[in-house]
Structure 1
C-alpha cells in the first residue's frame, strides 16, 4: 500500500512511481455512468497535462457525450474492448487502438463498455483553466474558469438587456 499522496519528494522533485501506487478513485451517477481510475499525472505533480488510467466496467458509460473547445483529449486502449460514441456514429475499440479528440472538434464523444469484461485505457488531456465543454445531448455548457454550467438554449443577443438610447451625460465636479 502506498503511504505517500504524491510522487513529489521533500525537495519538490517528481520521482518515478508505479501506477499501482496511485490511489484508485471511483465515481458513478445512477446505474448508467461511472468508472474507476488512477489519476497518474496528479500523483506525479503535473499541472498542464492530465493522464488517467481508467477502467470501465461492463455495461457502463464513461461520461456524458461531450466535446472540448480549448483542450485536446486522447485515449489509448490497454486491455479489453468498448464502443466509442462519436457524434451519431459508433466505433468498436480494442486493445492497441487509439483515438484523438482535437480541440474545437464539434462532435461529442464518450465510451460505452458493450463487453462482458472491464476495459482498461489511458486518457490524456490538457488541464486548461479556461476550458469550455459542450454537451450536445443535454444542451449543457461547462465553463471551468467559473466552475459553472449553463443551458446552451439560453443564449443572448450581444445588446440584449442594454439601454441603447442616447443618454445625457454630465460631468460632476467635486
Structure 2
C-alpha cells in the first residue's frame, strides 16, 4: 500500500499520567504503519519541536525499537550519556536491554525522524528517571508507580 504522509493525520498529546505530559508536548506523530494496515510493528513519522522530548527516558522488556533521523539534530540520551544524532543517523534498542533512552530536541529547529517498534500486547516499559512503569495490555496501557500503585 502506498502512503502519502501529508494525508496521514497528525497526532499530539500522550497517554502518560498528567504530571509527565508537558515533557512531550512538542511531539507530533503520524502513524504511517497504521495507515498501511500493519499489525506486527508500528512505524511513526515524528516531528519534534525545539525543547521537546520523544518520550520519557525508557526501555522495553519485549519490544525492539529503532529510530532513523530524517531532518535536523537530536540529542540521544541513554545510560551511557548523550550523543548528537543528525540526519542520516540511526539508533536501535534491543528488547530487554536495560538501557533507558529518549531523544531531546535542544536545537532551535524542528527535527523529524522515523520510529519503528514491535507491537507486543504483553510488553512492559521501565522509566529509570521517573516513578513510572507501563504495562501494555490488549485494553491499552496501564501506568503504575514503581511500587505497583496505579496512576489515576
- Range of TM-score over shorter length: 0.7 to 0.9
What stretches of structure 2 of length at least 5 have no aligned partner?
15-20
SS at match of 2:125: strand
- TM-score norm. by structure 1 comes to 0.75
Alignment correspondent of 1:92: 84
**Hey, what's the Cα distance between the residues in 2 that align with 1:154 and 1:23?**
35
1:164: which partner in 2?
none
Q: Distance in 2 between matches of 1:84 and 1:151?
A: 25
Paired residue for 1:33?
24
Of 129, 135, 144, the residue aligned with 1:150 is: 144
What residue is the counterpart of 1:5 in the other structure? Answer: none
Question: Residue deviations 1:77-120, cap 9 Å, x none?
Answer: 00000101112501101000000010011011111101110000
State how 1:29-108 maps to structure 2 within 5 Å.
Answer: 29-30=21-22, 32-34=23-25, 35-108=27-100
Give TM-score, length-normalised by structure 2.
0.86
Tell me which residue corresponds to 2:122: 130
Give the counterpart of 2:10 among 16, 21, 24.
24
Superposed displacement of residue 154, structure 1: 5.1
Larger radius of gyration: 1
Alpha-carbon distance, 1:137 to partner: 1.2
> What SS class does the counterpart of residue 133 from structure 2 fall into?
strand
Distance in 2, Cα, partners of 1:150 & 1:36: 25
Once residues 17 and 111 of structure 1 are traced to their aligned partners in structure 2, the CA distance between those partners, rounded to angstroms, is: 26
User: How far did 1:45 drift?
Assistant: 0.7
Higher relative contact order (CA 8 A, sep 6+): 2
